[in-house]
A and B are shown apart, each in its own frame.
Chain A
Amino acid sequence: MTEVVLEGVHVRHGEREVLHDVSLRLRERRVAVIGANGSGKSTLARLLNGLVLPSSGRVSVDGLDTRRRGREVRRRVGFVFTDPDAQIIMPTVAEDVAYSLRRSGLSKVEVAARVAAELDRHGLAGHADHPAHLLSGGQKQLLALTSVLVTDPRLVVADEPTTLLDLRNTRAVAERLAALDQHVVLVTHDLELVTGFDRVLVVDGGRVVVDDVPAVAVPAYRRLMGA
């Protein structure tokens, strides 16, 4: 079981405080983070794999401090961004997935086998040699997810992975995330996606204002937004 702990975390960008005194212990397999634009939810997600370090306080993943042991933390925590174009590095689909295993110590044959298996698992086997930039938006996001999952992280953090997708692709990406064995922290504006989650954090003005099951947190968020 993976455990993420945030203790008295503050994040400041200059004079602006983006997150204010956040303390959490995340052990659930499915955690969603919802909140308005600029509320601090993406910063909260980036804290979990050390992309953002706290100005004060401490974040740890399975006891590993993100400040001092960032490299090890990032091996455990995969991150999926909103825009897959920013995440895809190599020109072709298979090459991009293989690039994640560059420092894994696996032989070329092992890498090829693992890449093929992972592409097959996510419905991209037929696109292995295709140029990554010519994939559809949904396929690109699935590729970004595959490139993260091939390293077998314990926790997958996804920051609004469906924001740029149409309904069908949103469903496809959501189904993949739901089917993962790993722990998932999903930042989203799509309230339908969080229905089956174990825990929902509502972030507002840099604070976690609601922390509960979806049946309680989602209506509370709607009230907060006046919707």
Chain B
Amino acid sequence: MPTTSVLHRLGAGAKLWGLCACSLALLAVSTPTGVGAAVVGVVALYAVARLGPRALWSQVRPLRWFVPVVVAVQWATLGPVSAAVLTTRLVALVALAGLVTLTTPTSLLLDALERGLHPWRRLGVDAERAALVLALAVRSVPVLAALAGGVRDAQRARGRERDVRAFAVPLVVGALRQADALGEALRARGLDD
């Protein structure tokens, strides 16, 4: 990870608070001009972080199947302008969150999260556990993506590309097996207590 930009050097806590503030501000924007300005702002932040269009695309790419559905539903219920505003807002939010993860090592994010949650421990919030859950969520994405890829290949090999059940069942079974193995590994590494 390059550490040459201002955003890379900014503290993880400051970036998380900034993300919260920007997210709230974005949620308050309801006009096409407003979301347009927000998109320009997000692109500018990627430029400040010296991250190109490929990095931006890698963050929003997972939404490519989800966005058409959201647009269709919003268009049908609220009309084209609201559909465009709401969907753009969603994509901008994901891009912003992606920018934080792209410019911050996960370990620093976890430290910041732990520090942020520390005052809540009197209410029973286990900051370390919450940080661990976040870390596991982040590391599970590529593992589950690889699992889904393997299941998809197996489906193709058996000529069952369009069978949703043939995809879902092994994927869920594999994910549960991974979760079991991960739990065991966490215990083995002394991270269970």
Contacts and interface: CB of A to CB of B under 8 A. Distances in A.
Interface of A: 49, 51, 71, 74-75, 78-79, 81, 83, 85-92, 95, 98-100, 102-103, 129, 131-134, 147-148, 151
B106 A81 contact: no
Contacts, number: 72
B112 to A, nearest CB: 14
Contact of A98 (B107, B132, B136, B188): B107
B193 interface: yes
B66 to A, nearest CB: 23
A76 to B, nearest CB: 10
A184 B184 CA distance: 20
A90 B185 contact: no
25 contacts: A49-B188, A71-B190, A74-B188, A81-B184, A81-B185, A83-B181, A85-B178, A89-B135, A89-B136, A89-B139, A89-B185, A89-B186, A89-B189, A90-B107, A90-B139, A91-B106, A91-B135, A95-B107, A99-B107, A99-B189, A99-B191, A102-B191, A132-B139, A133-B143, A133-B146
B119 interface: no
B138 A91 contact: yes
B142 interface: yes
Contacts of A133: 139, 142-143, 146
Contacts of A132: 139
A53 B135 CA distance: 28
B191 to A, nearest CB: 8
Contacts of A148: 189
Contacts of A81: 181, 184-185, 188
Contacts of B185: 79, 81, 86-87, 89
Contacts of B125: none
Contacts of B178: 85-86
B105 interface: yes
Interface string B117-129: 0000000000000
Nearest to A86: B181
A129 B105 CA distance: 9
Contact of A51 (B1, B188, B193): B188
Given A75-B190, A92-B105, A103-B190, A51 B139 contact: no
A151 B190 CA distance: 11
Contacts of B136: 89
Nearest to B189: A100
Interface in B84-135: 105-107, 132, 135
Interface in B118-166: 132, 135-136, 138-139, 142-143, 146
Given A87-B189, A147-B189, A151-B190, 6 more contacts: A71-B193, A74-B187, A85-B146, A89-B189, A99-B135, A133-B143
Interface string B169-193: 0000000001001101111111101
Contact of B184 (A75, A86, A134): A86
B119 to A, nearest CB: 20
A95 B101 CA distance: 14
Residue from A85, A89, A129 with most neighbouring chain B CB atoms (10 Å): A89
Nearest to B178: A86
A86 B182 contact: yes
Nearest to A133: B142
A134 B141 CA distance: 12
A86 B139 CA distance: 10
Interface string B14-27: 00000000000000
A95 B184 CA distance: 20
Contacts of A87: 185, 188-189
